[in-house]
Chain A
Amino acid sequence: GENVEQHPSTLSVQEGDSAVIKCTYSDSASNYFPWYKQELGKRPQLIIDIRSNVGEKKDQRIAVTLNKTAKHFSLHITETQPEDSAVYFCAAPLGGGGNKLTFGTGTQLKVEL
C-alpha cells in the first residue's frame, strides 16, 4: 500500500552541527511535502513544507529538498540548538484523492551541548 518511510529513527548531534532526516514516499501523484515538529503531548507543528514544482526551500536554519524522480525529500537543520530537540515527522498526501496526509515513522532528534 501507499506509505512514507523515514530515516533515521533517532539522531543525536552536537550543538552547532547539522542534522539531516530523509523520507521516501510511494505515491507518484503526491504534490505536497510537509515536515512537522512534535513535542511530547502536543499537536504536530508545521516547520516547513514544499510543493512538487520546486526542488528546494529554505527558511532560516531549516531547509527541505525534494527529488520527485526518486520520490524522496529531506529535512536539513543547520546550526542545531538544544531547543531543536524533538520528534520530527515527514508527511505526504497519499491515495484518497491526494488528501489523506500520511506520516512517516518519526525521528527523535537530540541536540547535545
Chain B
Amino acid sequence: GAVVSQHPSRVICKSGTSVKIECRSLDFQATTMFWYRQFPKQSLMLMATSNEGSKATYEQGVEKDKFLINHASLTLSTLTVTSAHPEDSSFYICSAKTDSGQGNGYTFGSGTRLTVV
C-alpha cells in the first residue's frame, strides 16, 4: 500500500531557529499533500494544502511566511517552521492524497514532535 515517510520523528530546537520537516511518498506520486498540526489533547487542524509545482494554500489564521511549504517534486513536500517559538511546539503530521492509498487515498506520515525551548 501507499506509504508516506516523515522525518524527523522528534526534534528539539532553540527559540528563533528554523526547523524543516520532510514528507516523502515512497511508492506513489503525491500531487497533493496536506499538513496538519495537533496540540496536546486536541484534534488535527489543517494548516495548509500543498500541490506539486504550485504555491501552497493556507488555512485561515496560518501564517504563510512562518510556515513555509515546498512541494517541488511528486514525492517530496517539506514544511519549514521559521523563527520557531515555544508556542509552535506541537505534533506536525502530513497526509498525502492518492488514488490507490488506503481509505479513499489519504495516507498519513508518522508525525513530527516539535519542541521549541
A41 touches B91 (CB 8 A): yes
Residue pairs across A and B with CB atoms within 8 Å: the count is 48
CB <8 Å contact, A102 and B46: yes
Stretch at the interface among A14-22, A42-50, A62-70, A73-81: A42-50
User: From residue 83 to 116 of chain B, which have CB atoms closer than 8 A to chain A?
Assistant: 91, 93, 95, 97, 102-104, 106, 108-111, 113
B57 surroundings in chain A (CB, below 8 A): 96
> By the criterion CB–CB under 8 Å, are B34 and A101 in contact?
yes
Given the known interface contacts A49-B103, A96-B49, the answer about A41 and B111 at a Cβ–Cβ threshold of 8 Å is yes
Size class of the contact patch on chain B: 20 to 34
CA gap between A41 and B57 in the complex, in Å: 26
A and B contact pairs by CB, cutoff 8 A, 21 listed: A41-B91, A41-B113, A42-B110, A42-B111, A43-B93, A43-B108, A43-B109, A43-B111, A44-B93, A46-B102, A46-B106, A49-B104, A99-B32, A99-B97, A100-B34, A101-B106, A102-B46, A103-B36, A105-B42, A105-B43, A106-B42
